[in-house]
Chains A and B, each alone.
Chain A
């Protein structure tokens, strides 16, 4: 599994784990992000059960697993955090920041894990990395795509973890971790965003919110990372994109019934 440092100033470091070669084809590819800050570590969207062995082994190459004090789940999907019981088995003291409305759903992984949950309120808020690390910001991204959904902004590294926003379904042989050609890359994003993002209103509110942040790197949970100018290119592209396409099927079905 690929492990790449995205930012490092000595005390604060972003690492992405991606492109697991042992992942079964039937499992969607995911990117996991580790932030090590002043000795404490946070994992953003730690991934599903199926990729856990690879993620754990790759994480083990970069950090002492005992450093992990915090987990963050952008939303409730299985590729985001079905590895929760496995991670909390290794790091029982760690806290898992989970969207408030999804906590009851994620409790189905085992009620014994509920004491580790820190519900994220609708308005988002600070995300401290353990007791020693820097504090990041949880940015609401509701309905993009989940009904309670968050991004994480790091004002120090100027990195935005965007979850499923900016995700791309890349061909199986794609190895580039960063977007090389934005225009070419849109073909891998269009269908995903049109289908998974249900609301133009929610999408545009998110774009406006993110435009107020100084983002140098936009890191999605699937696909490739946007850097520099590509970030505003992405925001422009996303703003112009019509989403919620599946409602067409509802309309078509309603017409047929009439």
Chain B
């Protein structure tokens, strides 16, 4: 029989060398899944915006008083919707990868927890060293994975900020729609409705964006 292990290593509870527990990894996973859900919502909002842009173009074609102005606004709305879709698609791809990475992390953290629990009871120093090596490798791989997750989250945050700028542009367009609508007695109500729809949509997008920001902040912390 080999010599007994140092008391610090045979103590119960998680191994001191391990940095990430299973419950923490599960929280990371849940956050990543939520980020993916939010990204999907953003995608659906940009699709809705593209539809509003088409409606605006149709309304502009019917307008007699301010056709050129309305057409410019409608085209601009469509352009922003397409840019938003591209940004969101990028974010969604990142969020999918994030959720996958986090799920791998949960599996690894669960394994690490089992090794950690077993390590606390191993009395033979040769076996202890063997299992410790495996656990430390797993811990290091979890650390790498977490770094990857944080990098992906940073990229999603950059995309979120870019989307925020698009939201500001849409807010300006809404104002112009309202101004132009007030000058068109015949078709003004069409454009007021379009402005209202866009306004509601941007309100939702901003709320979602803030939620995403909170999630990303929580994770970074």
Contact = CB atoms under 8 A, between A and B. Distances in A.
B121 A57 contact: yes
Interface stretch (A37-45, A85-93, A229-237): A85-93
A188 B106 CA distance: 38
B114 A52 contact: yes
Interface size, A (range)? 10 to 19
B122 A86 contact: no
Contacts of A90: 130-131, 134
Chain A CB within 10 A, most for which of B121, B128, B130 = B121
Contacts of A56: 118, 122, 131
Contacts of B123: 57, 60-61
Contacts of B117: 53
A8 interface: no
Given A65-B130, A89-B134, A53 B114 contact: yes
Contacts of A49: 110, 114
Nearest to B110: A49
B111 interface: yes
Contacts of B124: 60-61, 64
Given A86-B111, A89-B138, A90-B131, A52 B118 contact: yes
B186 interface: no
A216 interface: no
A60 B114 contact: no
A65 B135 CA distance: 15
B145 to A, nearest CB: 15
A103 interface: no
Interface in B129-160: 130-131, 134, 138
A66 B130 contact: yes
Given A53-B117, A86-B111, A86-B114, A60 B122 contact: yes
Nearest to B138: A89
Interface in A40-77: 49, 52-54, 56-57, 60-61, 64-66
B19 interface: no
Nearest to A1: B121
A56 B138 CA distance: 17
18 contacts: A49-B114, A52-B118, A53-B117, A56-B131, A57-B122, A57-B123, A60-B118, A60-B122, A60-B123, A60-B127, A64-B126, A64-B127, A65-B127, A65-B131, A86-B115, A89-B134, A90-B131, A90-B134
Interface of B: 110-111, 114-115, 117-118, 121-124, 126-128, 130-131, 134, 138
| Among all A-B residue pairs, the 4 with the closest Cβ atoms | A57-B121, A53-B118, A53-B117, A60-B127
